[in-house]
Amino acid sequence: MLAADSIYINKDFVAGKFLIFIDDCRITGAHEEKLETFLRHECLPNDHVFVCFAAYAGNEPSIEAELNCAAIKTADDLVALAREPGHQMTTRAVRLLLETPEPRIASLLTDAPFAFVENAFHAAMTKGYHLHYPGTFAYLARAASACRSVESATPIVLRGDGRACDDRSDTAASPE
């Protein structure tokens, strides 16, 4: 979690529930500390647990950044990974996608699977990235809208050249 990240929990929904916070790996414990502080600040007395896939036992905090970029260095790498069965979206992936220059994001979204585009859109909204990356987010929003229209069999043409989502393959449209 970055310092600028915000957290929201629907207090009514979680009232009386046991909370499970899941992370890919634990490096410094900063995520747990931020969530503990949030729970105290919001007066949420819920029992909870933090679960991670792996824990780093060393003393080099920068290892997480190195691990994060070991295989996925570019948005092209990310879209290729999104085609793999069982791919799951991460916040880090959404940031990488939205940091892609505007001319390139259009073609990336054209090649991206529907589910990836839709999940990236919702993750960006949830994290407030639509406010931090308004230009590239507009491409993502249009592509998600086009994908939804294809799934409902009412395609939306986004460009003057007629390019939009189609059902030949699992791809998203290239917004203007």
**Domain boundaries of the chain, sorted by first residue:** 1-70, 72-176
pLDDT at site 103? 84
Of the CA atoms within 13 Å of residue 155, those in its CB half-sphere come to: 14
pLDDT at site 93? 86
pLDDT at site 158? 47
Residues in the chain predicted with pLDDT less than 50, given as ranges, are 153-176
Q: How far apart are CA 119 and CA 78, in angstroms?
A: 13
